[in-house]
A = this chain, B = another copy of it.
Amino acid sequence: MTTHPDPAARTADATFGPDLVEVFGPSQADGGPDLVQLLTPEGERVHHPDFDVDLTPEELRGLYRDMALVRRLDVEATALQRHGELGLWAQLLGQEAAQIGCGRALAPQDFVFPTYREHGVAWCRDVDPLHLLGLFRGVDHGGWDPAAHGFGLYTIVIGAQTLHATGYAMGLQRDGVVGTGDAARDAAVIAHFGDGASSQGDVNEAFIFAASYNAPVVFFCQNNQWAISEPIERQTRIPLFQRALGFGFPGIRVDGNDVLATLAVTRAALQRAREGQGPTLIEAYTYRMGAHTTTDDPTRYRLSSDVERWKLKDPIARLEVHLKRNGLADAAFFDDVAAEADALGARLRAGCTAMPDPDPLAIFEQVYAEVPDELVAQRDGYAAYLDSFEEAGR
């Protein structure tokens, strides 16, 4: 008879290294020491050893304008939903800097795969906000042309688009537009996703494929601290940007309420990708100031004091202070932007309420390139059925 080792026997000195939460800090640690920041919540311009941007006053004003206008867009859309003009709206309130910083880092030839909340990035890609409203109104699933704008359709099934982004990036490699050194030609892809999405298999598979093929894709995670009612701690116990470590590519945490830092970091990551150096994960550390969507009630699961705390880090206010304090924008500029926002609001209200319902027979369109006879018959049958009502109604 042989004896087997005693399973309960234990080596006193067994160690698996330090607790990683101690090493990396907890996921929800407020920004943390690794946070890249160029503009403090107080509007002070600070410097970072690795990342910086050098923008003209005009460019800075441009970023302010972008953020102010998309916030207005968001406010209008929320109001339109309250008035029954939209079925739903996913607010970006508080995430303007993350989205504009990211959006303005893009080159025309880059391609963006958004979630359902990237209204600010859509803005940077010249997607008419009315198309966004149309989607949430329910007139279509996205009225813009992805190829024309380099901006994919909104994706609601969490995480699915990160794989599409990776595949598209593999396509760029095959098209020979990566690492050629020609700045007008080299292209990269951005995949947006949220902190909650980081738990989906698809997102992790996207990391694996991107690393395996060294695909030119930037994974841009807006960690707004919440996945509906679930806090970031439910998805990860260490800061999310560290997730990339284990997949063998760099991860970085940027202050997502700082448009300059987000711009700097995203720009550099995109450039890395375009040059053929492969994927990067950016965690834009930010906060969802509003509800998850207009149907959500965040008072059920979070403290208003948290929201108050984050108000002090408002992304627009800090750039406004910076511009004013440094004499980079005058009152006329702010008045102009406010007027522009009012005009945008008016345009959205008018455009949205005027949006007609689609033709019922649109149900049958674009299911296939080559439409099967059976579906033609279904369509024709329904058309005749509708006609029968009209006739009856006469």
Contacts and interface: CB of A to CB of B under 8 A. Distances in A.
Interface of A: 2-5, 7-11, 13-17, 20-21, 24, 27, 49-56, 58-59, 61-63, 65, 104-108, 110, 124, 183-184, 198-202, 204-205, 208, 211-212, 233-238, 242-252, 263-265, 267-272, 280
Copies in the complex: 2
B249 A2 contact: no
Contacts of A204: 201, 204-205
Given A5-B55, A62-B2, A248 B238 contact: yes
B5 A263 contact: yes
A172 to B, nearest CB: 16
A16 B252 contact: yes
B104 A5 contact: yes
Given A10-B268, A201-B204, A237 B263 contact: no
A55 B243 CA distance: 38
Nearest to A337: B2
Contact of A208 (B11, B62, B199, B208): B199
Given A104-B5, A245-B20, A267-B10, A236 B252 contact: no
A243 B248 CA distance: 8
A105 B15 CA distance: 16
Given A5-B63, A11-B53, A245-B20, A211 B237 contact: yes
A56 B20 contact: no
